Amino acid sequence: MILNQFSLEGKVALVTGAAYGIGLAIARAFAEAGAKIVFNCSRQETIDRGLAAYKELGIEAKGYLCDVTNEEDVKAMVADIEKTVGTIDILVNNAGIIKRIPMEEMSAEDFRRVVDVDLIGPFICAKAVIPGMIKKGHGKIINICSMMSELGRETVSAYAAAKGGLKMLTRNICSEYGEHNIQCNGIGPGYIATEQTAPLRERQADGSRHPFDKFIISKTPAARWGTPEDLMGPAVFLASEASNFVNGHVLYVDGGILAYIGKQP
């Protein structure tokens, strides 16, 4: 049956930074499709928060204290996962940061930090899991890209540079390892309603929408913000056998923003 192609039964999935938000939703979708879940965070308190969230959802997950920008830490984490859980079948490079600073005010140190987490981290994690995938004869790598993989916007020079680079890293992993039955694709979320974006959606004192909220609604054909749950189906598709001939693609889950020029004033 065609639906069997979407099963992740018995697969081992590593979702980086998956204690909450988009990462948690993707890991939850994988678990519901049958996968074993492992995740990492760079702080113990965040791991504890994630473990509590998984427990509440009835999901057995294993959390690792690991900084994705530290290659030795990542190697040790992957080795432990392979030893105690199994060879990683699915990697989701979800961990990321953003610093909203005008370019002329941004220090090179801040720029490098964003690139380290959002671009070099996925490189390090992918490099660590690819040998096991080659040996096993298959693998799925999903990079969480962004609309900023395609567009620029004020105050996000480092983020846009990193996410644009991540799009090209996605294509290059496809080019280099496709012959080993490894598919590397990206998901490009639109504006997603999470706790980080909550202040941008708060009603004003007079009951009106926040100006940025109005801006996003006006630019989105779906006329709403996305939710983490909107990413669950696309993630399962890209992690499953249903996408075995999809490689080097970025799937934008944005309610249509990238297809839309906006309403005439």
Please list, in sequence order, all residues whose beta carbon lies within 8 angstroms of the beta carbon of residue 110, skipping any fewer than 6 positions away. 99, 101, 158
Token pair listed for 8 = 């992740």
- Amino acid occupying residue 83: K
Question: Is-contact 235 142, C-beta < 8 A?
Answer: yes
In angstroms, the first-to-last Cα distance of the chain is 49
Strand order in the sheet with 250-253: 61-65, 36-41, 12-16, 90-93, 139-144, 182-189, 250-253
Catalytic residue list contains 159: yes
d(CA 234, CA 186): 10
Torsional sign, CA 113, 93, 22, 160: positive
Tell me which of 54, 64, 159, 252 is the catalytic residue: 159
Residues identified as active-site: 159
